[in-house]
Structure formats: structure tokens, C-alpha cells
Amino acid sequence: MESEQAIDALGALAQATRLEVFRLLVAHEPEGLPAGEIARQLDVPHNTMSSHLGVLSRAGLIEAERHSRQIIYRAKLGALRALVSYLLKDCCKGRAEICAPIIADLTSCCAS
């Protein structure tokens, strides 16, 4: 990931509704959610939600797929991985003991 891509992604996430949309979509992987359901769950008007989804899509954080009359949105987990990797690359100048708590937090969220 290049710094310009990271700036675009972080900028897209630097708004409360878009951050909640992204987190909601991550929680609903791999199925994704229809746009209307995202708007309903977050209590956001449909036209406003459309704008937020567009920003996230242009930043490369989500993707849309048409299923009949619905558009299903999914988080692009590869983009999330690339962003986190970009932020943590060369973490603490190779001092693993400093980065260990960050890695542990990330690992514990996925533990069964």
C-alpha cells in the first residue's frame, strides 16, 4: 500500500457513520449486507447512506455486487489488512516487545 492509498482509506474512515458502516460490514463477512439493511441498522437515511457507501467504495475499503434488485456491500478485508500492515510496518524499529501488545490485541479478536 502506498501512502496516498492509506491517506484515502483513513480519510474515509475519519467520519463516524462511515466508520460504523465499515465495522458493520466487517462483522457481516463474508455474506455482506444490502444497502437498505445497512441504512436501517445504523438509522441513516438511504440517500445519506448512499453517499457514505460511495466514499468507502472510492477509498477501496468496500465493494458492491448486484444481486437481482439489491446491491450487497462487503468489506474488502484485503484492503483492511493492507492498511493495518502499512501502519504497523517497521513497528517500533524491530523491537518486538513494544509491538507485542498490538499483535496480541489483533490476535485475540479472532480467537475461537
Number of domains in the chain: 1
Which cell is 8 given? 484515502
C-alpha 23: how far from its chain's center? 6
CATH number at residue 59: 1.10.10.10
Contact call for residues 94 and 24 (beta carbons, < 8 A) = no
43: region left, alpha or beta (phi > 0 left; psi from -120 to 50 alpha): left
Which residues constitute the domain of residue 94?
A: 3-108
**Which pLDDT tens digit goes with each residue over 31-90?**
999 999 999 999 999 999 999 999 999 999 999 999 899 999 999 999 999 998 888 887
Question: Residue 112 pLDDT > 60, yes or no?
Answer: no
Which cell is 76 given? 474488502
Question: Residue 96 pLDDT > 80, yes or no?
Answer: no
> pTM (2 decimals)?
0.87
Q: What is the DSSP string of 16-75?
A: HHHHHHHHHHHHTTTT-EEHHHHHHHHT--HHHHHHHHHHHHHTTSEEEEEETTEEEEEE
